[in-house]
A and B are shown apart, each in its own frame.
Chain A
């Protein structure tokens, strides 16, 4: 069944979009990832204009991060103070990202930018996830426990000024690193249409040395607001949020997440994580392949002014 998307201005198959929403929702429920970094490239492969894919995807990120953040709120595993500090950076980052997005759209380099950023991040994240899960699988076979992260070490981060106490995270650190992380992720969120958890979570664990128990909840809390802001700004600045597409993605995503969460408790995590890593790597390679191979037509056309 075809449905016409009013903003993307093309018809798509309803079931294809729903199925994509389900699949990404399933993975996001299973691994606790937002799934934006999978959905945006999928939408682009499907022929949705990259700008519309990114703008619309931010609403899907809002939906999945609200679900996740609420669960963590009930478990009291959110450091609101830390989340708030990161959010300050995130808001500025989001504004900057939107400005970059606009400038690049104007000179015709936004599609390249989106592809490049995705190639870089999908390859890095995919490779990191794959090595980590393979190491975990091998460690499990040998029966040796994984080396755990030792906390309480002093690094250069502790030498920075403007220190603040974060009781929930049991930290007394400078606000500069959390603001900077928030800024960087907010920028990526605006350009890539992702929540950015896949960057924020490792950064919070390894750079800020936050306790793992509050990391995911805090990042989700911050993502809710940054991606919400990004979605509104993409609507205002670029009119690239397609409500029809968003509805289909969100419905698929919410349903998929339910099964993903249930499946996560039954299936073997590490093998699946390795599979996800392979999917992520393949998508990165596919996008990269498109960048280096000669396109069928060197010329492309685009409306010089968005029509109203």
Chain B
């Protein structure tokens, strides 16, 4: 934390010394790369930044800062269980083509007061405004079918609900802490089950209900060390990986038998 504080102060000093510019935001992350190692149990990313103001009138304006961290998007299938012959079985399914694996929103105030819903929807700020793409519905045996718009809404809601339960979708309105007039910081929780890939941390400056400025910072989350090698090995060289896993197990079994004989 002290290191972070130092970075924070250094950035603040730099910022106060820099000349005014057209863009009004300056931000950075405490880490640009998260490495998932064997002891990985989730982490926190600190995002800090400042709003540049040229005069006192600007300072008095109605401004909000919203931080949105988004993970790589990919198709996700949502399945609904139904009771069949007494047991609960996955029945209808709906596949959304581009679902961010992770989505975290931190803002200065609740989103309702920052801008009109249409504005938020356009830039996909807020969990309910994420665009999952046009879904495709499938039935029990995998055949295509059509579901009512009502159902479609239920499936999208369920998707968000499941992601929230897994702590992969988070919203923290009011989570941005201002230090003085210009400096701010936000912490974003990265849970242990986070998907790997290229993330984007977007920081929006919303003034008078409009997006006045946005800064995108890349964040790379990847498996590292042994985890990375095992994962890559398992996917790129599946046959060799499988053979080694099985032969390794057979060797352990032989070792066990040798131990048994000694006694």
Contacts and interface: CB of A to CB of B under 8 A. Distances in A.
Contact of A7 (B36, B79, B230): B230
Contact of A304 (B75, B82, B246, B248): B75
B74 interface: yes
Interface string B237-250: 01101111110111
Given A71-B260, A236-B239, A300-B162, 17 more contacts: A3-B39, A6-B226, A6-B228, A6-B234, A7-B230, A66-B252, A71-B257, A106-B142, A241-B234, A241-B242, A291-B87, A292-B87, A294-B83, A300-B90, A302-B77, A304-B75, A304-B77
A262 B89 CA distance: 44
Given A71-B257, A304-B77, A4 B242 contact: no
Contacts of A305: 74-75
Nearest to A293: B88
Interface in B112-133: none
Nearest to A4: B40
Contacts, number: 204
A67 interface: yes
B193 interface: yes
Interface stretch (A148-156, A174-182, A198-206, A227-235): A227-235
A144 interface: no
Contact of B234 (A3, A243, A291, A304): A243
A108 B257 contact: no
B259 interface: yes
B163 A301 contact: yes
Nearest to B231: A6
A292 B76 contact: no
B155 interface: yes
Interface string B16-43: 0000000000000000000011111100
20 contacts: A4-B38, A6-B234, A10-B193, A62-B250, A67-B256, A71-B260, A109-B90, A228-B250, A231-B242, A232-B246, A235-B238, A239-B238, A241-B241, A243-B234, A243-B248, A246-B248, A251-B252, A297-B162, A298-B82, A299-B81
